[in-house]
Amino acid sequence: MNTAGEDKLRILFIAEAVSLAHVARPLALAMALDPARHAVFFASDPRFNALLGALPFPLRPLESIESSRFFTALANGTPIYDLPTLRRYVRDDLELISAVRPHLVVGDFRLSLSVSARLAGVPYFSITNSYWSPYARQRFPLPTHPLAQLLGVSAAQALFRLVRPIVFALHARPLNRLRREHGLPSLGSDLRRVYTDADHTLYADVPEFLDLPFLPAHHHFLGPLLWSPNVPLPDWWEEIPGDRPLLYVTLGSSGLHRALPPIIDALADLPVTAMVATAGVALRTHPENVFTANYLPGEAAAARAQLVICNGGSPTSQQALAAGVPVLGIASNLDQFLNMQAVEAHGAGLCLRADRAMPADIRRAATTLLGNPAFRDSARGLAGIFARYDSGRRFSELVAGLRPKTGARGARC
């Protein structure tokens, strides 16, 4: 006979902890579920656990590649995962699924679940961004890459336009080889299909953000997934002067951290005050108008600010836009450039290349964003759109159709 606990829908969230964003988004969804109806399990590499605080569900350790390896691959344009790593991931995934016996697996950038969830016979939902959708109509900006230094940005962009399909195919090859080893069909040469493959694909965006006219029924917009680290407020939080524009600066865990000192230098000469989350980056000195902490509660910081300066990634950009605050993105990888391309298209921010951004460029862009009310008006327009999306409710409605049932590897109700 089943116990009351066994009547709950068992949902296993798996976060690929190469960056904090891939932990934060599934955590936001996990926290939104009703514990009376759902038994939640959360698996991730423990490297970010100190920022998560007390959680109402168990955390299970699951190894991810080192963040340094992830960022090096992004910087060099090489595949992030090789075949041996993905094979190991599948073994770890299957062991975890067998132990938890979930009725649903939800992953964020855990590409191995494209194989392991199918082998386990468990429904698989994947969290991603709509700018990675194979159905999105867009161009692909050149990320920071040694070729840009060698050829110049314009020439390197033209070359990237030609070779980008080949690059995507090389990045897709390891997972396709793994799928073939397990009798699963190839996902093809478009990396976007590798990033979005799932029984249900969940976009942490709004449909107004990009042109996606022909989405299949198993692709869903949840809206922004907002989350802030569980950290105490710094001593200076209530003492910040209010007589000048306030900026929130963070490059997060995936920004080009050598870009932080030029940002600080740029702000030193502006009539502004800045709250800077350094993510552990050591600053030798900083001017009197800059207040620093290792981490800050991003949603609260963005809500106080008149401008957010970040790495251009979607999590901090969405915190800013949800508060109606424009964004200056200093982008390095393709994910960040794609996000900022959409932000710029909506008139809610500006993007600079992290490999080219000098203090004078940052100062000029910040002054433009602060001085032109059209940027704040556009950001407030997006805030109004974001407010119409309750991501937790949308996710709960999607999983409501699942019922506890006997599954592979001992899952049963």
pLDDT tens digits for 267-325?
998 999 999 998 877 777 778 899 999 999 999 999 999 999 999 999 999 999 999 99
Q: Where are the domains of the chain?
A: 5-221, 237-386
- pLDDT (tens, 9 = 90+) of the chain, 413 residues, equals 334 456 899 999 999 999 999 999 999 999 999 999 999 999 999 999 999 989 999 999 999 999 989 988 988 889 999 999 999 999 999 999 999 999 999 999 999 999 999 999 999 999 999 999 999 988 999 998 888 878 888 898 999 899 999 999 999 999 999 999 999 999 999 999 999 999 999 999 999 999 888 899 999 999 999 999 989 999 999 999 889 999 999 988 655 567 788 899 899 989 999 999 988 777 777 788 999 999 999 999 999 999 999 999 999 999 999 999 999 999 999 999 999 999 999 999 999 999 888 999 999 999 999 999 999 999 999 999 999 999 999 999 999 877 654 443 444 33
Q: What is the pLDDT of residues 58-77, one digit of tens each?
A: 999 999 999 989 988 988 88
The whole-angstrom separation of Cα 26 and Cα 22 is 7
Task: Extract the tokens encoding 253.
Answer: 């865990």
Q: Under the phi-then-psi rule, with left for phi > 0, alpha for psi from -120 to 50, and beta for the rest, what region is 326?
A: beta
Q: Which residues pair with 203 in a beta bridge?
A: 128, 221
Judge residue 71's burial from the number of C-beta atoms within 10 Å of its C-beta, 0-12 exposed, 13-18 middle, 19 or more buried: buried
**Do 5-221 and 237-386 fold alike per CATH?**
yes
The whole-angstrom separation of Cα 65 and Cα 85 is 8
Residue 105 carries which DSSP code? E
The whole-angstrom separation of Cα 177 and Cα 175 is 5
pLDDT of residue 412: 36
**Domain 237-386, architecture per CATH:** 3-Layer(aba) Sandwich (3.40)
Instruction: Indicate the fold that domain 5-221 takes in CATH.
Output: Rossmann fold (3.40.50)
If residue 10 lies in a helix (H) or strand (E), which one and from where to where? strand 9-15
Give ∠ CA 112-117-119 in degrees, rounded to 5: 100
The whole-angstrom separation of Cα 299 and Cα 317 is 10
Distances (CA, A) of 396 to 41, 105, 222, 400: 16, 14, 10, 6
Judge residue 285's burial from the number of C-beta atoms within 10 Å of its C-beta, 0-12 exposed, 13-18 middle, 19 or more buried: exposed
Q: Under the phi-then-psi rule, with left for phi > 0, alpha for psi from -120 to 50, and beta for the rest, what region is 183?
A: left
If residue 247 lies in a helix (H) or strand (E), which one and from where to where? strand 246-250
